[in-house]
């Protein structure tokens, strides 16, 4: 059994997260968050989406700054490629979410990370979005994430980090479970 | 009393020091320990001794624990087959015999309709009169009500929908495919039985606990007991709320020991899909998380076996046992189905093996949290002096939900109860605390 304690630092404030868990157990309504994005069409398939404010802990919260994202399609879609495609942003979200989770879980479990790399692939048959075949779905039919993790831990411990991160990931949940979506016109 | 006539309605309440509700293994174990301490008590039972085991279980069910482990306070397993697994008739006979030898008065056919706090104790209303008691032990069981997701209400009317409490045997179901929802012990056992009956079974799998029946030549329960895991206490685990929510392991008891994991079910032809996530019109939606849940269960099992091997090495068992082995990883379909249209006719029945919860609807005392769960500290109900619970998952130890788990819990709670009575009768002086980990009675 290891008795020496080393300072593990993955840059995650686990104490604050655990404190939040405790505080929210007393005030569950503060745990209701609403995330927001605002989109302006530019031209063609090019849009610009901004993210700045969200709601949580009972009040409106602000990001440190306003973030903007260009969304477009590449030349093979006869577009001008001003930015990643919407489905690529979904992969961005998944990779970011799972990787943040791995860092947090590793910190909580006392595992020092040196590097994490993930390759994320989503495959789809575009006959769906082109309306060519009603049997083909629009979205991804498969998503594959492959992690390469360098850490002071056994392979089994690393695999357990990756499993736990999936279990607590919002984006993983969004992609693997149905979500009620309502789109309306003002 | 004249047979066939109801008892008079206006009988005075009877008084007893301690009252136990439920004459299953937990209530009987408490009866034993109360009797040993000379505490005047009764056990009230809505039906007969071992009622739920008689009326609310399917025909083929056997205990998940081997016979040698089915110990009750003061009674080791008395039968000839220690390595076997009891079916319901054998278990009922065991509990009946135990109840007969017990000094506790047992009032069968007495259903508790309401419990209220009163000065110095509790008022227990039943369909056969009222009792007043100073201490009350709830031993009514953990699995009285099936937990069924709300979407069950929206199933198309031609689909037969039932819970394990109503299930007895395969021939009670219409011919055709069955969707079993849930892959804890109940789900995997019923999926196996229904697939063997010639029906195509689809099993919706969420978070689950994979366990081999035997490991290195011994029953897994031997390992868990010997290595001390079953004695792990509620105040020792990191997250007791999570430990109490854990699904029952994928185990089955039978005439010959066998594994009943997802690989065994796939080999038999059961189709695996992800957790049931939604119902849109007639289309069932399954989560895309099957691989994650299976991989998590495989990793957890590997960790457990690593720990058991380390224990065997440290305690001189290693050389006496066959070499360590590891089960094959869970095999998954390359593309698990994400949807299933009930209009297609492939599925005729949905069986909800989605868990159970206790029924405390008669308990008119404010002892519940926001989600309706009983608030208790190791079976000592919070903010309700003299009120105790038995037989709930991980009540005081990992083994609390099992037959053999009742002895230690009943002993400690009976000590607490006795100390409280002693304190109260000596003018409220601080009673002797039987155990540091218990809150002051």
A72 and A124 co-located in one domain: no
Q: Does B302 touch chain A (CB under 8 A)?
A: yes
Residue-level pLDDT at A5? 52
B33 CB-contact burial (10 Å; exposed 0-12 / middle 13-18 / buried 19+): buried
Q: Does B296 touch chain A (CB under 8 A)?
A: yes
Residues in contact with A148: Cβ distance below 8 Å, sequence separation at least 6, in sequence order: A115, A116, A117, A118
Domain count, chain B: 2
**What proportions of chain A, in percent to the nearest 5, are helix, strand and coil?**
35, 30, 40
Token pair 């058991």 is found at: B308
Q: Does A168 touch chain B (CB under 8 A)?
A: no
Nearest chain B alpha carbon to A156: B299
Contacts A167 to B, Cβ<8 Å: 207, 292, 296
A96 and A140 co-located in one domain: yes
Mean pLDDT computed over every residue of chain A:
92
Residues B54-98: pLDDT tens digits?
999 999 999 999 999 999 999 999 889 999 999 999 999 999 999
Residue B1 lies in a domain: no
Distance of CA B154 to the CA centre of its chain: 28
Residue A152 lies in a domain: yes
Residue A5 lies in a domain: no
B331 and B369 co-located in one domain: no
- The H or E element that residue B294 is part of is helix B290-314
B199 and B348 co-located in one domain: yes
Instruction: Give the residue from A35, A61, A84 where a domain finishes.
Output: A84
Do A156 and B278 lie within an 8 Å CB cutoff? no
Tokens of B211: 């366990």
CA dist., res. B406 & res. B392, Å (int): 10
Under 8 Å between Cβ of B47 and B24: no
A90 and A158 co-located in one domain: yes
Question: Stretch B49-55: mean pLDDT, rounded?
Answer: 93
Lowest model confidence (mean pLDDT) among A128-132, B112-116, B352-356, B434-438: B434-438
A111 and A139 co-located in one domain: yes
CA-closest candidate to residue A99, choices A169, A37, A43: A169
Helix ranges (H only) for A45-168 are 86-108, 155-167
**pLDDT band, residue A13 (cuts 50/70/90):** confident
Instruction: Give the residue from A84, A103, A136 where a domain finishes.
Output: A84
Distance of CA B90 to the CA centre of its chain: 18
Q: Is the pLDDT of residue B441 over 60?
A: no
Residue B318 lies in a domain: yes
Full 3-state SS string of B100-157 = HHCCCCEECCCCEEEEEEECCEEEEEEECEEEEEEEEEECCCCCCEECCCHHHHHCCC
**A interface mutation test: which of B296, B305, B326 has the most A CBs within 10 A?**
B296
Residues B250-262: pLDDT tens digits?
999 988 999 999 9
Q: Is the pLDDT of residue B1 over 50?
A: no
ipTM exceeding 0.90? no
Nearest chain B alpha carbon to A26: B370
Contacts A163 to B, Cβ<8 Å: 292, 295-296, 299
Query: Half-sphere exposure (CA, 13 Å, Cβ side) for A13?
Result: 5
Residue B82 lies in a domain: yes
Instruction: Give the residue from A33, A56, A84 where a domain finishes.
Output: A84
Q: Is the pLDDT of residue A121 over 90?
A: yes
B78 and B98 co-located in one domain: yes
B232 and B381 co-located in one domain: no
Do A163 and B285 lie within an 8 Å CB cutoff? no
Of A142, A156, A175, the CB nearest to B299: A156
CA dist., res. B366 & res. B190, Å (int): 37
A171 and A96 co-located in one domain: yes
A92 and A172 co-located in one domain: yes
Count A/B contacts: CB-CB distance under 8 Å.
42
- Our CA-based measurement puts residue A132 at a distance from the nearest CA of chain B, in whole angstroms, of 22
Under 8 Å between Cβ of B194 and B168: no
Contacts B274 to A, Cβ<8 Å: 176
Q: Does A156 touch chain B (CB under 8 A)?
A: yes
Nearest chain B alpha carbon to A166: B292
B202 and B55 co-located in one domain: no
Q: With H, G, I as helix, E, B as strand and everything else as coil, classify residue B392.
A: coil
B409 and B327 co-located in one domain: no
Q: Is the pLDDT of residue B6 over 70?
A: no
Residue A1 lies in a domain: no
Instruction: Give the residue from B332, B356, B380 where a domain finishes.
Output: B356
Lowest model confidence (mean pLDDT) among A14-28, A93-107, B112-126, B342-356: A14-28
Containing structural domain, residue A167: 85-177
Domain count, chain A: 2
Q: Does B278 touch chain A (CB under 8 A)?
A: yes
A119 and A171 co-located in one domain: yes
Q: With H, G, I as helix, E, B as strand and everything else as coil, classify residue B76.
A: coil
Q: Residue B124 forms beta bridges with which residues?
A: B115, B131
**pLDDT band, residue B3 (cuts 50/70/90):** low
B115 and B161 co-located in one domain: no
**% of residues, chain B, pLDDT over 90:** 90
- Our CA-based measurement puts residue B288 at a distance from the nearest CA of chain A, in whole angstroms, of 4
Contacts A25 to B, Cβ<8 Å: none
Residue A27 lies in a domain: yes
Q: Does B288 touch chain A (CB under 8 A)?
A: yes
A56 and A134 co-located in one domain: no
Contacts A140 to B, Cβ<8 Å: none
Of A159, A172, A175, the CB nearest to B299: A159
**pLDDT band, residue B9 (cuts 50/70/90):** low
Instruction: Give one DSSP letter per residue of B13-38, joined into a string.
Output: PEEEEEEEE--SHHHHHHHHHHHHTT
Contacts B287 to A, Cβ<8 Å: 176-177
A30 and A67 co-located in one domain: yes
Nearest chain B alpha carbon to A141: B335
A114 and A102 co-located in one domain: yes
Containing structural domain, residue B329: 148-356
- Our CA-based measurement puts residue A153 at a distance from the nearest CA of chain B, in whole angstroms, of 14
Q: What is the CATH number of the domain that holds B255?
A: 3.50.50.60
Strands B112-118 and B121-126 turn out to be antiparallel
Residue-level pLDDT at A6? 61
Q: Is the pLDDT of residue B11 over 80?
A: no
- The H or E element that residue B201 is part of is strand B201-205
Question: Stretch A160-166: mean pLDDT, rounded?
Answer: 96
Under 8 Å between Cβ of B148 and B166: no
Do A159 and B295 lie within an 8 Å CB cutoff? yes
Nearest chain A alpha carbon to B206: A167
CA dist., res. B210 & res. B262, Å (int): 8
Contacts A160 to B, Cβ<8 Å: 296, 299, 303
**% of residues, chain A, pLDDT over 70:** 97
Question: Stretch A5-18: mean pLDDT, rounded?
Answer: 79
Question: Stretch A90-113: mean pLDDT, rounded?
Answer: 96
Q: Does B100 touch chain A (CB under 8 A)?
A: no
B189 and B325 co-located in one domain: yes
Residues B290-340: pLDDT tens digits?
999 999 999 999 999 999 999 999 999 999 999 999 999 999 998 899 999
Query: Half-sphere exposure (CA, 13 Å, Cβ side) for B321?
Result: 21
CA dist., res. A107 & res. A11, Å (int): 8
Residue A6 lies in a domain: no
B231 and B269 co-located in one domain: yes
Under 8 Å between Cβ of B85 and B107: no
Contacts A175 to B, Cβ<8 Å: 288
Q: What is the CATH number of the domain that holds A106?
A: 3.30.300.20
Residue A3 lies in a domain: no
Question: Stretch B219-223: mean pLDDT, rounded?
Answer: 98
Residue B7 lies in a domain: no
B313 and B407 co-located in one domain: no
The answer for A44, left when phi > 0, alpha when psi is -120 to 50, beta otherwise, is left
Instruction: Give the residue from B321, B356, B391 where a domain finishes.
Output: B356
Nearest chain B alpha carbon to A179: B278
Mean pLDDT computed over every residue of chain B:
93
The CA-CA-CA angle for residues A171, A176, A182, to 5°, reads 75
Of B280, B292, B335, the CB nearest to A166: B292
Residue-level pLDDT at B4? 55
Instruction: Give the residue from B324, B356, B388 where a domain finishes.
Output: B356
Contacts A28 to B, Cβ<8 Å: 370
Question: Stretch B180-207: mean pLDDT, rounded?
Answer: 98
Strands B347-352 and B160-162 turn out to be parallel
Residue-level pLDDT at B424? 67
CA dist., res. A118 & res. A95, Å (int): 7
Strands (E), chain A: 34-35, 38-43, 46-56, 59-71, 113-123, 142-151
- Our CA-based measurement puts residue B287 at a distance from the nearest CA of chain A, in whole angstroms, of 5
B323 and B388 co-located in one domain: no
Do A175 and B288 lie within an 8 Å CB cutoff? yes
- Our CA-based measurement puts residue B207 at a distance from the nearest CA of chain A, in whole angstroms, of 9
Residues B398-434: pLDDT tens digits?
999 999 999 999 999 999 999 999 986 544 344 444 4
B96 and B201 co-located in one domain: no
């Amino acid at each position: 059994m290891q008795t020496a304690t080393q300072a593990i630092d993955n840059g995650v404030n686990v104490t604050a997260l655990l404190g939040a868990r405790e505080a929210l157990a007393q005030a569950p309504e503060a745990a209701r968050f609403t995330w927001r994005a605002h989109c302006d069409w530019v031209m063609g398939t090019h849009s610009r989406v901004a993210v700045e404010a969200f709601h949580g802990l009972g009040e409106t919260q602000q990001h440190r700054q306003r973030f903007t994202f260009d969304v477009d399609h590449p030349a093979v879609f006869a577009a001008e490629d001003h930015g990643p495609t919407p489905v690529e942003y979904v992969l961005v979200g998944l990779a970011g979410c799972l990787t943040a989770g791995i860092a947090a879980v590793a910190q909580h479990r006392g595992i020092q990370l040196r590097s994490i790399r993930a390759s994320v692939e989503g495959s789809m048959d575009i006959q769906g979005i082109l309306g060519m075949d009603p049997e083909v779905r629009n979205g991804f039919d498969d998503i594959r994430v492959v992690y390469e993790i360098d850490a002071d831990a056994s392979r089994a411990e690393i695999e357990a980090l990756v499993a736990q991160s999936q279990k607590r990931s919002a984006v993983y949940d969004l992609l693997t479970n149905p979500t009620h979506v309502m789109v309306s016109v003002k | 009393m004249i047979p066939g006539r109801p008892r008079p309605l206006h009988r005075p309440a009877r008084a007893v020091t301690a009252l136990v509700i439920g004459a299953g293994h937990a209530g009987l174990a408490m009866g034993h320990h109360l009797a040993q301490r000379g505490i005047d008590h009764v056990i009230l039972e809505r039906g007969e001794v071992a009622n739920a085991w008689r009326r609310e279980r399917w025909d083929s069910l056997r205990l998940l624990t081997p016979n040698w482990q089915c110990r009750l306070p003061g009674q080791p397993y008395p039968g000839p087959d220690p390595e076997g697994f009891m079916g319901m008739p054998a278990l009922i006979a065991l509990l009946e015999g135990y109840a007969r030898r017990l000094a506790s008065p047992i009032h069968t056919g007495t259903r508790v309709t309401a419990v209220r706090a009163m000065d110095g104790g509790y008022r227990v209303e039943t369909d056969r009169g009222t009792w007043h008691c100073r201490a009350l032990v709830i031993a009514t069981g953990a699995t009285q009500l099936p937990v069924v997701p709300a979407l069950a209400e929206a199933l198309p009317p031609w689909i037969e929908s039932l819970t394990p409490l109503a299930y007895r045997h395969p021939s009670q179901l219409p011919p055709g495919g069955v969707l079993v929802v849930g892959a804890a012990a109940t789900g995997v056992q019923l999926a196996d039985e229904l697939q063997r009956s010639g029906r195509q079974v689809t099993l919706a799998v969420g978070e689950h606990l994979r366990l081999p029946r035997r490991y290195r030549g011994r029953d897994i329960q031997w390992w868990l007991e010997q290595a001390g895991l079953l004695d792990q206490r509620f105040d020792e685990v990191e997250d007791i709320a999570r430990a109490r929510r854990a699904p029952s392991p994928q185990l089955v008891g039978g005439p010959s020991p066998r594994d009943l994991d997802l690989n065994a079910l796939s080999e038999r032809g059961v189709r695996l899909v992800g957790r049931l996530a939604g119902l849109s019109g007639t289309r069932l939606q399954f989560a895309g998380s099957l691989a994650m849940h299976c991989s998590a269960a495989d990793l957890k099992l590997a960790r457990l076996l690593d720990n058991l091997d380390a224990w065997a090495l440290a305690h001189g068992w290693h050389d006496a046992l066959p070499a360590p082995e590891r089960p094959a990883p869970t095999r998954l379909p390359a593309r698990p189905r994400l949807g299933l249209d009930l209009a297609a006719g492939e599925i005729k029945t949905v069986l909800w093996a989605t868990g159970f919860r206790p029924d405390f609807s008669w308990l008119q005392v404010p002892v519940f949290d926001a989600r309706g769960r009983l608030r208790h500290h190791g079976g000592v109900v919070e903010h309700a002096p003299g009120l105790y619970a038995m037989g709930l998952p991980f009540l005081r130890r990992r083994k609390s939900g099992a037959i053999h788990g009742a002895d230690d819990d009943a002993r400690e709670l009976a000590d607490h109860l006795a100390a409280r009575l002693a304190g109260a009768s000596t003018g409220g002086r601080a009673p002797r605390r039987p155990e540091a980990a218990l809150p002051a009675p």
